[in-house]
Amino acid sequence: MSTYLTKRLIYMVLILIGASMLIFFLYALTPGDFVSGNLKMSAERKAELRDLYGLNKPVFERYLIWMKNALHGDFGYSLAQQKPVLTLFNEYIWNSFLLAIVSTFLTWVIAVVIGVISAYKQYSWFDTIVMIFIFAAMSIPSFFIGLFLIKTLAVDLKWLPPGGMMTTGSNATGWAYVKEVIHHMTLPVVVMTLLGVGSLTRYFRSNMIDVIQQDYIRTARAKGLTERTVLFRHALRNALLPAITLVGFELPGLFGGSIIIEKIFNWPGIGQLYMQSFGSRDYPLLMGFTMFIAVLTVIGTLISDILYHLADPRVKL
Amino acid sequence: MKNTLEIDRLSTYFYTEEGTVKAVDDVSIRVREGETVCIVGESGCGKSITAMSVMGLIEGTTGKVVNGKIGFDGENLLDLSKNELRTIRGNEIAMIFQEPMSSLNPVLPIGQQITEPLMQHQKLSKKEARLRAIELIKQVGISRAEQIFDSYPHELSGGMLQRIMIAIAISCHPKLLIADEPTTALDVTIQAQILDMLREIKEKSNMSILLITHDLGVVAEMADYVVVMYSGKVVEEGEVVELFNNPKHPYTKGLLKSKPIINQRQEQLYSIPGQVPNPLSLKESCYFHERCAQCMSICETQQPKLKEVGGSTQKVACWLYEEGIADV
Amino acid sequence: MSTMSSEVVKSSRQDHTAVKSSLWTQSMRKLRKNKLAMSGLIFVILMFLACFVGPLFSPYTDGKINVTAMNKAPSLKHWLGTDMLGRDVMTRLLQAGRISLTVGLASMLLSVFIGSILGAIAGYYRGIVDQVIMRIADLLLTIPGLPILFILGALLSEWKVPVDSRMYIVMLMLSFVGWPGLARLVRGQMLSLREREFMQAAVVLGLRDRRKLFNHLLPNLFPLLIVVATLSIGGAILSESVLSYFGLGVTPPTATWGNMIDSANNVIDFEKHPWLWIPPGFAIFSTVIAINIFGDGLRDVLDPKHKK
């Protein structure tokens, strides 16, 4: 177990170093920077600022400085917002997390319930409808469904607010505040759930179909157990077990926000922050964000691996 | 002696995209109290489907029992509701399967899998069920029963798991045990132990056994009565000694000839020529005629009926024994 | 001796192809019976025909600005109305479809090509080659796809790539992020194929590497590749639409389904002229769902292990 873990950790670090280089040089390639994009400044002032921010140094040296600071927990200073990158992350990330955690929860609950039922009733009309729904959910362009729902439910029918987290100018507190946020997050959560639920339902459906055909399910039935016991005690546990590996893969999604959804619904999350910073070429923030997701991805993969080994009594490290 | 199980003209069909498969076609089998009946045949002859039909476990949308009666304890199992059938399964009729490795749930401890039917059918409390389960584990010849109770299937060998399966099967004192190739997946030495154990349990509890196998060695060891199946049909049946000494059907003869005999050197082991016919393209005929050395013209067009021959208990479905035909 | 062994190989190969062709026709027969999959295929074909042939029958293909017919709602004359320059939305939708479908198809071909070659080589040679290829793939899979596409898209804009050739660069970008997943899949398959009996037979016969790789291993991957390729067309069409919607893919005046939806970014068009952006959205949705349904049907017949 421990040698396996050490190997995994070393590999993780190597991958992250590679990723950091790739990210840094990709952004370095991107033309324009925050200073030269600003039309109001004089040429001298620009040169002065470029010098101050170290933008004139060679790329590789800039990379080393960036990495050194990053290792000390300093991801730089957002030029556009004049705040440390980490402070900004902390301001925006929890809004993203709120959307993600609610929609992830809904996605899993719906996927497990529908997937299991439709596997149990394979080839029934219910199953056919579920399959069509799965294909539909997997084929929707995310930004379009967002726009479409805003247009129909928010603009035309006025059932829900079209975007943002609070009504403009509102200073509600306490319960009123909570209610207002829930009201605003309904649409983005619906869209995010819709986008994720297709493939996950399909996953649980096919797992369950596999499990139902196993010999031990036949044994359970031969023992005269009720269908309920067969399904929930014997089948479901086996069908859910492999899904534990997916938990880790959800990690980047939980904290990384969704660039598209937050942009469409004007949600003050980290994805939205990224979009803004992209427009103003605020590199410290862009690099910090991309690196942050890369770290989450790597950690998530590791968690998945460990969970899988812990959950299945047959697998030994 | 009373009949424990009476399968009467059972037909089970599978409706596939390519056509209808008559997996079990007009089959009658009787198992008396305390008797062991063996169903013998190649894979795909319908022996397992017969067993699953008795258990009421023909599942899915494609398979269906279309005809017949399954008499058990004075009732026709096919008339019972799903729930009534369930109270018989695992309680009065139990079953063990070919693959002990995959027949137990990998994520549940052994103990839980043994106590389940006890709590379900005999309404034992968790504590009582545990005590009884440990007793059962000991009864099937496994030491360290408490430890085994809490272990998982992957920690046990195939032979041990089959013992556990037997423990589960006999837990509610069933009147009938259906064993579907119970030793096929096991090592030869373990096979003998398992068979001995089954016989011992049977003798102690006067339980009937319906044993399904393709292995004539197992038949010789276990059976009182033998039923030979081919392509979903019974082609011959009789008391084991009679049938082994005087096989009538060319298929039975072929099966017995292809069995190696200990202490006797043979140049080449006999095998029946040809293959089992495609179950989708069966026409009215003796299904064995393509592989039969004694095939006559009538065999290709008409199906022989199962009839008693020579005034014994033995029955055979073959035109060779039909009076006035063999001579032609 | 050598003639004899080549005889053996030849005859075994003939058997191989005979079996394969019957397997193929059998699969196709099964596929034809799958009504849902066939309707998906028919829809995709109709969509292709409509986009590539349809505009020939439209009187509005010149894309000329027509001041008298600006922002008109759908009517008999203009089935899907007109845009702010008086262009016929229906005609533009079909012309946009040409680009979107071509980009989807081409970037799928490219990423399947790169992914399967690299994956096959990694899985076949193993060792250091495998390490290098798969570590690069891991790296690319670690970095989130959308930011990479954004950076590449921004590069496009700043380098003043001519509008006509942007489309090709978008294809390159999509296959750049698409190949690592495919390579991983193909490599896994390759590793398990290597261990199978017929490959050991090829080793015993002393066949050369290249021959083993291209004559024996790759053909066995085709069923899987066909399925994955089909399904990834849908993914590529979706990705292109996202990029173009954010103005980082193909840009106007060349229309794609993605950049047509861009008009929703204008509040007036969004609220008052929904015929400008809703039809392209449904065009993307219906095309992708049809491709996915067909791909799933293909999977059922070609990759029975995955049949669920």
β-pairing verdict for B307-308 and B233-239: unpaired
**Contacting A residues, span 250-309, partner chain B, CB-CB under 8 Å:** none
Q: State the pLDDT at residue B137.
A: 93
Give the closest residue to B167 by CA, choosing from B128, B198, B207, B190: B198
Quote the mean pLDDT of chain B: 86
Q: State the pLDDT at residue C307.
A: 44
Give CA–CA dist A104/A186, Å, rounded.
Answer: 13
How far does B159 lie from chain A, in Å, by closest CA? 16
Are C271 and A151 in contact (CB < 8 Å)? yes
Residue of A nearest to B56 (CA): A222
Q: What's the pLDDT band for C13 if we cut at 50, 70, 90?
A: very low
For residues B194 and B163, the answer to whether their CB atoms sit within 8 Å is yes
Q: What's the pLDDT band for C61 if we cut at 50, 70, 90?
A: low
How far does C283 lie from chain A, in Å, by closest CA? 10
Q: What's the pLDDT band for C181 if we cut at 50, 70, 90?
A: confident
Q: State the pLDDT at residue B266.
A: 62
CB count within 10 Å of CB A32 equals: 13
Select from A135, A138, A294 the Cβ nearest to the Cβ of C143: A294
Q: What is the mean pLDDT of residues B64-92?
A: 89
Give CA–CA dist A9/A225, Å, rounded.
Answer: 46
- pLDDT tens for A77-107 read 777 777 888 888 888 888 889 999 999 999 9
How far does A198 lie from chain B, in Å, by closest CA? 25
At residue B104, φ and ψ (nearest 5 deg) are: -110, 145
Lowest mean pLDDT among A235-244, C197-206, C226-235: C197-206
Select from C143, C271, C277 the Cβ nearest to the Cβ of A155: C271
CA distances to C8, C195, C198 from C13, rounded to whole Å, are 8, 19, 12
Residue of A15, A144, A270, A285 to mutate, interface with C, max C Cβ within 10 Å: A144
Are A238 and B57 in contact (CB < 8 Å)? no
Identity of the residue numbered C104 = G
The strand pairing partners of B14, in sequence order, are: B21, B63
Q: What is the mean pLDDT of residues B210-234?
A: 90
Q: What is the mean pLDDT of residues A212-216?
A: 89
Give CA–CA dist A147/B10, Å, rounded.
Answer: 62
Tokens 């990379």 identify what position?
A: A63
Give CA–CA dist B255/A304, Å, rounded.
Answer: 54
In the three-class reduction of DSSP (H, G, I as helix; E, B as strand; rest coil), residue B312 is classed as coil
Residues 6+ apart with CB under 8 A from B151: B109, B110
Please name the chains neighbouring C, where neighbouring means 3+ C-beta pairs under 8 angstroms. A
Q: What's the pLDDT band for A36 if we cut at 50, 70, 90?
A: low
Give CA–CA dist B50/B232, Å, rounded.
Answer: 9
Residue of B nearest to A240 (CA): B107
Identify the sign of the CA torsion A276, C270, A169, A175. negative
Q: What is the mean pLDDT of residues C191-214?
A: 69
CB count within 10 Å of CB B183 equals: 26
Q: State the pLDDT at residue A316.
A: 47
Give CA–CA dist B203/B219, Å, rounded.
Answer: 17
Task: For residue A256, list chain C residues with Cβ-Cβ distance below 8 A.
Answer: 144
Lowest mean pLDDT among A16-25, A119-128, C56-65: C56-65
For residues B206 and B33, the answer to whether their CB atoms sit within 8 Å is yes
Residue C201, CB-side half-sphere exposure with 13 Å CA sphere: 11
If you write DSSP's letter for every residue of A176-194 in order, what string do you get?
HHHHHHHHHHHHHHHHHHH
- pLDDT tens for B313-325 read 788 888 888 776 6
How far does A43 lie from chain C, in Å, by closest CA? 21
**Tell me, which fold does domain A92-278 have in CATH?**
MetI-like fold (1.10.3720)
Which tokens hold the place of A18? 């590679």
Q: Structural domain tally of chain C?
A: 1
Are B86 and A241 in contact (CB < 8 Å)? no
CA distances to A201, A280, B214, C161 from C250, rounded to whole Å, are 34, 21, 68, 11
Q: What angle do CA C32, A132, C300 make, to 5 degrees?
A: 40
Q: What is the mean pLDDT of residues A267-278?
A: 86
Residue of A12, A27, A139 to mutate, interface with C, max C Cβ within 10 Å: A139
A109 CA to centre of own chain: 17
If you write DSSP's letter for every residue of C79-147 in order, what string do you get?
TT-B-TT--BHHHHHHHHHHHHHHHHHHHHHHHHHHHHHHHHHHHHH-HHHHHHHHHHHHHHHHS-HHH
Please indicate if any CB of chain A lies within 8 Å of the CB of B104.
Answer: yes
For residues B182 and B198, the answer to whether their CB atoms sit within 8 Å is yes
Which tokens hold the place of B312? 């014994």
CATH superfamily to which B3-92+172-321 belongs: P-loop containing nucleotide triphosphate hydrolases (3.40.50.300)
Give CA–CA dist B169/B140, Å, rounded.
Answer: 11
Range from A50-64, A68-82, C109-123, C220-234 that averages highest in pLDDT: C109-123
Burial grade of A233 (CB within 10 A; 0-12, 13-18, 19 or more): middle
Q: What's the pLDDT band for C139 if we cut at 50, 70, 90?
A: confident
Q: State the pLDDT at residue A310.
A: 74
Q: What's the pLDDT band for B130 if we cut at 50, 70, 90?
A: very high
Are A222 and B89 in contact (CB < 8 Å)? yes
Check pLDDT > 90 for residue C37: no
Question: pLDDT above 70 covers what percent of chain C?
Answer: 77
Are C293 and A206 in contact (CB < 8 Å)? no
Residue of C143, C256, C303, C306 to mutate, interface with A, max A Cβ within 10 Å: C143
Q: State the pLDDT at residue B149.
A: 92
**Contacting C residues, span 135-194, partner chain A, CB-CB under 8 Å:** 135, 138-139, 141-144, 146-148, 150-151, 154-155, 158-159
Check pLDDT > 80 for residue A2: no
Select from B57, B99, B107 the Cβ nearest to the Cβ of A238: B107
ipTM: 0.86
Identify the sign of the CA torsion A140, A143, A146, A150. negative
Are B121 and A234 in contact (CB < 8 Å)? no
Give CA–CA dist B251/B298, Å, rounded.
Answer: 17
Are A141 and C277 in contact (CB < 8 Å)? no
Domains of chain B, by residue range, sit at 3-92+172-321, 106-170
Please indicate if any CB of chain A lies within 8 Å of the CB of C271.
Answer: yes
Please indicate if any CB of chain C lies within 8 Å of the CB of A146.
Answer: no
Q: What's the pLDDT band for B19 if we cut at 50, 70, 90?
A: confident
CA distances to A70, A79, C188 from A84, rounded to whole Å, are 12, 9, 44
Identity of the residue numbered C98 = R
At residue A38, φ and ψ (nearest 5 deg) are: -90, 120
Tokens 């399959």 identify what position?
A: A131
Give CA–CA dist C121/C127, Å, rounded.
Answer: 11
Quote the mean pLDDT of chain A: 83
Going by the DSSP 8-state scheme, the letter that residue B181 receives in this structure is: S
Burial grade of A73 (CB within 10 A; 0-12, 13-18, 19 or more): exposed
Q: State the pLDDT at residue A108.
A: 92
Q: Is the bond preceding residue B277 a cis peptide, omega within 30 degrees? A: no
pTM for this prediction: 0.81
Q: What is the mean pLDDT of residues A287-305?
A: 86
Q: What CATH number is associated with residue C102?
A: 1.10.3720.10
Give CA–CA dist C281/C265, Å, rounded.
Answer: 14
Give CA–CA dist C269/C277, Å, rounded.
Answer: 8
Q: State the pLDDT at residue C308.
A: 39
Q: What's the pLDDT band for C14 if we cut at 50, 70, 90?
A: very low
Check pLDDT > 70 for residue C10: no
Q: What angle do CA A164, A167, A168 make, to 5 degrees?
A: 95
| Radius of gyration of chain C, Cα coordinates, nearest whole angstrom | 24
Give CA–CA dist A189/A195, Å, rounded.
Answer: 10
Q: State the pLDDT at residue C26.
A: 77
Are A313 and B86 in contact (CB < 8 Å)? no
The strand pairing partners of B230, in sequence order, are: B233
Q: What angle do CA A71, A72, A73 make, to 5 degrees?
A: 90
Domains of chain A, by residue range, sit at 92-278
Give the closest residue to C270 by CA, choosing from C110, C26, C84: C84
Residue of A nearest to B178 (CA): A222
Buried b (16+ CB within 10 A) or exposed e, A81-103: beebbbebbeebbebbbbbbebb
Task: For residue B99, list chain A residues with Cβ-Cβ distance below 8 A.
Answer: 215
Are A151 and C281 in contact (CB < 8 Å)? no
Q: What's the pLDDT band for B60 if we cut at 50, 70, 90?
A: low
Q: What is the mean pLDDT of residues C117-131?
A: 84
Which tokens hold the place of A299? 């950690």
**More confident site: B208 or C23:** B208
Please indicate if any CB of chain A lies within 8 Å of the CB of B62.
Answer: no
Q: What's the pLDDT band for A52 if we cut at 50, 70, 90?
A: low
Q: What's the pLDDT band for A35 if we cut at 50, 70, 90?
A: low
**Contacting A residues, span 196-215, partner chain B, CB-CB under 8 Å:** 214-215
Q: State the pLDDT at residue C20.
A: 53
Domain that holds residue C273: 28-52+80-302
Show the DSSP H helices in chain A as ranges.
2-29, 43-52, 59-71, 85-120, 125-139, 142-149, 174-212, 215-222, 227-229, 236-240, 244-249, 251-256, 259-264, 270-279, 283-311
How far does A179 lie from chain C, in Å, by closest CA? 27
